[in-house]
Amino acid sequence: MKEANKMKIGAILLGCVLGLSLIGITRTVLASGWSGREMEQESYEQERNESERYEHERNEYRRQEAETRPMSAVQQAYVEECGSCHMAYPAGLLPPQSWDKIMKGLEDHFGENAELDDQTRAELSRYLQQASAPREGQYRRMIRNLDQQAPMRITELPYFRHKHREIPSRFIQGNDKVGSLSQCDSCHRGAQRGWFDEDSVVIPGVGRRDG
Amino acid sequence: MKPGLVLLCGMLVVNVWLPAHAQSSAAKQIKGWQSQGAAAADPQQGKLLWFSKHGVRSCSSCHGASPLEAGQHAKTRKPIKPMALSKNPARFTSQRKTEKWFRRNCKWTWGRECTAQEKVDILSWLSSQ
């Protein structure tokens, strides 16, 4: 009799524990991601295959390297000259033909005057050409599907649009703390240093990309 | 003794040398424009210029109504440190930088370069704030 009671109590306790853990797991699953419905999970999962994971490890190594590497004199000049009004966008985010067009039109730079003296302009143009989106390496995707087109805005690049297509506008344009997709560093905290990994995204007022 | 000395030197640099350097640097640039034909500085005229509009644009569009406060870029929203020398002793310490921004911002704001006299008046007002 007593043994049977003990068994019953044991079974009830086990049931409680299992039930609670099931609730916990469900809640965790539901809470992960930033809102579930807006995000197309399937395309997201597709990108998370083996090679991407390998890529992630390599990126992590690159990020640590980028954060500790001191800036060269010309990089410092670039940040000083081009980072006063907006983030000094890493040169690798645009192809050489785009930088060429931008540097030739600084007198009307998206409606602003961003003139430089001739010497500084020549020096920075050289740097931007040399550091622009390459065919290989971290930034090779930026020129995907671009051919020889010379878009003036990073936000016009097919790859950029593809990567940001799922983000609801209320997180960006409708978000006082962000305002526009041009403000990379509002969400990509390492943007200035060329670090754009998805795992490090924090949208102000919304939260992390991956829960 | 030693850390105290270093601290004292640091304080001297930040509180005495830097503002004095900025003042003298601003004064030097004003003299430079005067040698190009500008008359004596009129800070009150500089203040009027700060608010004077060309269309909807004025200096205060981005720098704000008071040079003692931080401003914000009208389009990109990037914060701009105060222009007043008393709030920001690093201002006007590089002549190259001062000329670069006068050239860019006068053209954007008023659609033309500023005259030497306008630069003298504006800089004298900002460095007296």
Q: Which amino acid makes up residue B90? A: A
The helix/strand/coil state of B54 is strand
Number of neighbours of residue A186 by Cβ within 10 angstroms = 20
pLDDT digits (tens, 9 = 90+) for A48-78: 666 666 766 776 776 677 667 788 999 999 9
pLDDT of A211 strictly over 60: no
* Residue A36, C-beta contacts closer than 8 angstroms, at least 6 positions apart: A30
CATH among 1.10.760.10, 2.60.120.340, 3.40.50.300, 3.30.70.260 for B2-128: 1.10.760.10
Q: How far apart are CA B23 and CA B54, in angstroms?
A: 30
What mean pLDDT value characterizes chain A? 82
Closest-CA residue of B relative to A87 is B78
Phi-psi region of A105 (alpha: psi -120 to 50; beta: other; left: phi over 0): alpha
Is some CB atom of chain A closer than 8 A to the CB atom of B105?
yes
| A117–B76 C-beta distance less than 8 A | no
- CA distances for A49 relative to A44, A54, A165, B68, angstroms: 10, 9, 20, 54
pLDDT digits (tens, 9 = 90+) for A139-160: 888 888 888 889 999 999 999 9
Q: How far apart are CA A3 and CA A7, in angstroms?
A: 6
* A112 contact residues in B (CB cutoff 8 A): 75, 104, 108
Phi-psi region of A33 (alpha: psi -120 to 50; beta: other; left: phi over 0): left
Closest-CA residue of A relative to B79 is A85
Q: What is the DSSP letter of A148?
A: T
What are the tokens at A129? Answer: 């050409």
Percentage of chain B modeled with pLDDT above 90: 71
Is some CB atom of chain B closer than 8 A to the CB atom of A111?
yes
pLDDT digits (tens, 9 = 90+) for A70-112: 889 999 999 999 999 999 999 999 999 999 999 999 999 999 9
Domain boundaries defined on chain B: 2-128
pLDDT of B45 strictly over 90: yes
**pLDDT (0 to 100) of residue A26:** 63
